[in-house]
Amino acid sequence: REYIPISFEDQTIAIVVQPENDSIEEMEANAKLIASAPDLLEALQGLMKEYKSIADSGDCGWWKAEEQEKYIIAQKAIEKAIK
C-alpha cells in the first residue's frame, strides 16, 4: 500500500492509504472536504442564523425560514454533523 500526503496551503492535512479503486484526485478531494468540514459547519450555522433573522424581521416579506425546503435540508445536515 502507498501512503500519500494530502496538502492544502502548504500544510499536510491528511495522510491517506490509496485504496485500489480510488484515484489520487478523488482521495485529495475527500481529504480536503473532511479537513474543511468544521469551517463549513460553522459557516452554514452562521448563514442559517442570519437567514432566520432576516425572515423573522419582516424586512423582506413575511415567511418562516424553518418551513423553507433549503432551510430544512441545511438544518438536517447540521444535525447529522453534530449528533
Q: What is the pLDDT of residues 13-23, one digit of tens each?
A: 888 887 777 78
Tens digits of per-residue pLDDT, 11-55?
A: 888 888 877 777 878 888 888 888 899 999 999 999 999 999 999
In 3D space, the residue among 37, 8, 24, 38 whose CA is nearest the CA of residue 16 turns out to be 24
pTM of the model: 0.74
Contacts of 48 (CB under 8 A, 6+ apart): 65, 71, 74, 75, 78
> Are the C-beta atoms of 7 and 13 separated by less than 8 Å?
yes
| CA–CA separation, 9 and 82 (whole Å) | 27
| Beta pairing partners, 4 | 16
Please state the φ and ψ torsions of residue 75, each to the nearest 5 degrees. Answer: -65, -40
pLDDT tens-digit profile of 53-67? 999 998 888 889 999
